[in-house]
Amino acid sequence: MSAQPKMTQRPGLTFSHVGFFAADIDRQADFYRSVLDFTETDRGVLPGPHGPLRLIFLSRDPNEHHQIVLVSGRPERVEFNVINQISLKADSLQTLIDFYRRVRDAGVAELMPVTHGNALSVYFRDPEGNRVELYWDLPWYVSQPCRVVAPFDLPAPELLAWAEHHARALPGFRPRSQWRSEMAARMGITDFQEPQE
């Protein structure tokens, strides 16, 4: 009899992708391809309630046909954008810093590098005003919400040291592994196993 694998998340569902409407779908697709290194995996047209809708599928993962799907039909003027943010997780602090420089050099709107205490994040607006977050989890947790401007022009080791010094003074500071175990218990995952970092 083989041993059952340990769970790292609640079974049943995993998050896969997000779709949103675009006024200028080609401009939006170009931004996600050229600035954030997404690959166009497909494109096409489907009938919609008010005429044909163009779709462009984008991914950074060959296991996922699309992580973002852009759909034509967003009005030019929207009184309120219901998308709070689109978040992408960096695989390392250096990757996050490199993308910070890349989006800064692309002249994006509302660029804001911050620490949340438990993550370092870079926020900005895509060409149609949707807020995008690029982030990297820190190895500790602090109580949320927390948002403080962070010095992303520092080299990675100095930025990490700055973030830790700042986080240690915040409420709830503890190792991320401890917080994950607490959350697994709350979610009823009894055989939780720490993910391999």
Q: Encode pLDDT of 73-89 as tens digits.
A: 988 888 887 788 999 99
Per-residue pLDDT, 9 = 64
Give me the percent of the chain exceeding a pLDDT of 90.
74
Highest mean pLDDT among 2-11, 69-78, 159-168: 159-168
Q: How many CA atoms lie within 13 A of 13 on its CB side?
A: 2
Mapped onto helix, strand or coil, the DSSP state of residue 89 is: strand
Per-residue pLDDT, 2 = 53
In 55-148, alpha helices (H) = 93-105
Q: Is the pLDDT of residue 103 over 70?
A: yes
Q: How large is the average pLDDT for residues 34-62?
A: 94
Domains detected in the chain: 17-75 (3.10.180.10), 83-191 (3.30.720.110)
Per-residue pLDDT, 78 = 80
**Strand pairing of 68-72 and 18-22?**
parallel
Per-residue pLDDT, 5 = 57
**Four-point Cα dihedral 26, 102, 17, 40, nearest 10:** 40
Name the residue with higher pLDDT: 115 or 184.
115
Question: For residue 155, what are its two tokens?
Answer: 């080299």
Q: Is the pLDDT of residue 42 over 90?
A: yes
Mean per-residue pLDDT over the chain, rounded:
91
Question: For residue 6, what are its two tokens?
Answer: 């340990």
Q: Other C-beta atoms within 10 Å of 55: how many?
A: 17
Cross-strand bridge partners of residue 9: none
- Beta carbons within 8 Å of 62's beta carbon, 6+ residues apart: none
Per-residue pLDDT, 77 = 82
Beta strands in 11-165 (DSSP E): 18-22, 39-48, 51-59, 68-72, 86-89, 109-115, 119-125, 131-137, 140-141, 148-149
List pLDDT tens digits, range 131-153: 999 999 999 999 999 999 999 99
